[in-house]
Amino acid sequence: MIKIQSITKSFGERVILNEISGSFEKGKPNLIIGASGTGKSVLLKCIVGLARPDYGQVFYDGRDFYGSDSEERVEIRREMGMLFQGGALFDSKNVEQNVMFPLDVLTKMPLNEKLDRVNFCLQRVGLENVNTKMPSEISGGMKKRVGIARAIVNTPNYLFCDEPNSGLDPQTSILIDELIQDLSEDLDITTIVVTHDMNSVMGIGEKIMFLYKGHKLWEGTNKDITHSGVKELDDFVFANKVMNSLRSK
């Protein structure tokens, strides 16, 4: 479980996150949603330590991330896997080398075991016979799946996904969402997904945090998101024509 307390972050005079608190549970996808520019990605960066909050704490299963020394923080980070918006695959390495990278650097596993693990992870995300392809030779959806395979190869306890569906067609988006949900359940890991895709929200949003202009306005599940009674959330949810037509019915 990941708990955040009073996360506050400003860039100059502009307050991006204002006293955000909450918890993210194990074994299911936890979604952080909101319109563009509300601070979702900044919050995720504060949680994983890519941006230090001005104020606030992050606890990984009770371990205070920012209260730890640098070596303890590295230990916590080695339990993380992250899928970046653009995949963030290493351009100079092929698919196999990309997925194997955390094992190469962080473990002393023999090569045959590493290869088995890489192939298992690639199969798990539905990719086969792409080991020798370079990132520039595969599609956006495949890059995301390779990114997920790399994120889970070292059996993380925490999985973070920043806009996993951006730039993907609806069918591939659903595949990625289902994959994230299955991995969260099967591996029993704490997963945080930042998204503004309503299909993801309705599909895998078992626990949702809604951000609006740097404030947490609502928390709940996809079952009660359509009748939250929060105007800003309704504006976000029903901006989609399909969702709006469902509301009319």
Partner 1 sequence: MIKEIGKYFMFLGNLFVNRESFKTYYKLVLEECMNMGIGTVFLVALVSTFIGAVTTVQTAYNMVSSFIPDYVISQVVREMVILELAPTIMAVIYAGKVGSSIASGLGTMRITEQVDALEVMGINSISYLVLPKIIASILMYPLLVITAGVCALFGGYLVGTLTGIISPNDFVYGLRSSYNEFTVVFALIKSVVFAFLVASISSYKGYNTQGGALEVGVSSTQAVTSSVIAVLIADYLLAQLLLAK
Task: Candidates 3, 63, 77, 213: give the one binding partner 1 (CB under 8 A).
Answer: 77
Question: What is the maximal distance between C-alpha atoms in the chain?
Answer: 59
8 Å CB contact between 51 and 9:
yes
Minimum distance of partner 1 from residue 72's CB (angstroms) = 11
Task: Candidates 12, 13, 62, 91: give the one binding partner 1 (CB under 8 A).
Answer: 91
Task: Candidates 24, 60, 65, 160: give the one binding partner 1 (CB under 8 A).
Answer: 160
Question: What tokens appear for 133 in the block?
Answer: 């392809």
Quick note: the x/- pattern for partner 1 over 190-229, rule CB under 8 A, is: ----------------------------------------
248 binds partner 1 (CB under 8 A): no
Site for partner 1 in 10-49 (CB under 8 A): 48-49
Task: Candidates 6, 11, 61, 106: give the one binding partner 1 (CB under 8 A).
Answer: 106
Q: 71: how many CB neighbours lie within 10 A of its CB?
A: 7
Q: Which residues bind partner 1 (CB under 8 A)?
A: 48-50, 70-71, 74-78, 80-82, 84-86, 88-91, 101-102, 104-106, 154, 160
